[in-house]
Chain A
């Protein structure tokens, strides 16, 4: 189960820069900059939701709050009816740049989530199962720096999935990858999601990623962020703009919403 309910979520940063005092200053600290302004969202169990928004709008901030890394907010964030209290292995965060621990091999990284498993043989079997799933067999004993960017992302996915988390939170998981690798991983993430059906939240700045992958897209407005658009994507996969004129129309709408007039 991985139902997420976000109610009246508000968050602001305090800018500590020493600037002349301005109206709106928090006493003696700095300027308060609202980032999330009353966000209300619900994510269903097993759903893949892609979050879009202009750069700096607070998408990542929202993910970090859901992951439990940030508790300086007001409002309520619940997973399965329970308020989020700090990070947990039930909701795993996949980092924008590699979050693999560089001093551990692929197998050791994947083992992190299984380190309390007593049965050594079963543990090894499970590690292998997930490494095979992300097609990294043969690279078990490689260190992250010896892998390509795409392989690192896949290893990190294996490490996250091995925990069998209720929620998978991905912050721009494809950033920094070349076009082909990106397409391939996109495909793999979709296949993986259809297979395991875990609630998956993904922040991206690529509208195509969102429209091709998501069960639903959420577009946030610029800072302070509010939900500007929520749209179901009930299209069968694999998707293409040619087959789904509605998807094309939606793409133009989202581009316009993000301030791009002529999508090329």
Chain B
């Protein structure tokens, strides 16, 4: 393994280049700093937002919604995916329904969810749940039906009980694919929370951006965007780390 400092050089270069371009654009584009603030101004305002606690409050609000919505989707979606993958009648019954609901953008549910759940955390959580639930169900179902049939024969040969087939075969077999799905899905959930917060609630990073736009504070808008990007990066890094656990990493090497 390369030392960590070395692996940070390349991202360091690309981020510095981004900052430089940003600074140059801000300076020579001819737009006023109200419309296109430079990096320095944005970082100063970021500091303000940090100190006043506004940033923490909104970030926590957003993360809370994503966590709850995503967790619900995981707890309900993965078992449902396993059921659909293992049991054909359930698949025949529910798959058309899922394929029908799946392409409806979670954002299209905003009016209904506001009507049903009012203003606050609930509609946002509901939207995040919707955005994560269907991709998770579909990926899990696909992963279960893609399990090498040889493993089921091994299970039969070793007299696995029905419960053992699920706990010792199906779950570990689909784990690599499910973790990849979780990684993609959490990114979607993080995208959706910002959109949901622009409409249905009075807090969260999405709300911060919308509220700052109304106040014509483009530096705060950019602060919001930067934090969203950084947290997205963190979430992805966290998911990637889970994928590197030894009993899961075989998925990278299997045929």
Contacts and interface: CB of A to CB of B under 8 A. Distances in A.
B253 A93 contact: no
22 contacts: A67-B153, A67-B157, A86-B156, A87-B153, A87-B156, A87-B159, A89-B157, A89-B159, A93-B157, A95-B150, A99-B151, A101-B151, A101-B168, A102-B250, A102-B254, A103-B175, A104-B172, A112-B158, A113-B158, A143-B246, A145-B253, A163-B158
A87 B247 contact: no
Contact of A99 (B153, B168, B249): B153
A88 B150 contact: no
Contacts of B250: 102-103, 143-145
Interface in A86-134: 86-89, 92-93, 95, 97, 99, 101-104, 112-113
A69 B250 CA distance: 27
A92 B247 contact: no
Given A67-B153, A104-B172, 15 more contacts: A67-B157, A68-B156, A69-B153, A87-B156, A88-B157, A89-B157, A95-B150, A99-B153, A99-B154, A101-B154, A102-B253, A103-B173, A103-B175, A143-B246, A143-B250
B157 A87 contact: yes
A103 B148 CA distance: 13
Query: Chain B interface: which size bin?
Result: 20 to 34
A73 to B, nearest CB: 17
Nearest to B254: A102
B3 to A, nearest CB: 24
B169 interface: yes
Contacts of B159: 87-89
B254 A69 contact: no
Interface in B214-247: 246-247
Contacts of B154: 95, 99, 101, 112
Interface string B171-186: 0110100000000000
A95 B254 CA distance: 16
Contacts of A86: 156
B248 interface: yes
A93 B153 CA distance: 9
Contact of A69 (B156, B169, B253): B156
A97 to B, nearest CB: 8
A68 B249 CA distance: 32
Instruction: Please give me the 7 A-B residue pairs with the lowest Cβ-Cβ distance, nearest first.
Output: A87-B156, A145-B253, A103-B172, A102-B250, A87-B157, A99-B154, A112-B158
B156 A103 contact: no
A143 B249 CA distance: 10
Interface string A48-69: 0000000000000000000111
Contacts of B249: 143
B252 to A, nearest CB: 8
B255 to A, nearest CB: 8
Contacts of B169: 101
B88 to A, nearest CB: 17
A92 B248 CA distance: 27
A69 B173 CA distance: 21
Nearest to B171: A103
A99 B248 CA distance: 17
Contacts of A144: 250
Interface string B135-160: 00000000000000011011011110
B254 A145 contact: yes
Given A112-B158, A145-B254, A103 B153 contact: no
Nearest to B159: A89
Given A95-B150, A145-B254, A103 B157 contact: no
Nearest to A163: B158
Contacts of A87: 153, 156-157, 159
A97 B255 CA distance: 11
Contacts of A102: 250, 253-254
A69 B150 CA distance: 10
A86 B159 CA distance: 10
A91 to B, nearest CB: 8
Contacts of B248: 103
Contact of B157 (A92, A104, A143): A92
Interface in A185-217: none
The residue among A67, A92, A95, A97 with the most chain B CB atoms within 10 A of its own CB is A95
A117 B254 CA distance: 30
A171 to B, nearest CB: 10
Contacts of A67: 153, 157
A178 B254 CA distance: 20
Interface string B194-215: 0000000000000000000000
B161 to A, nearest CB: 11
A99 B254 contact: no
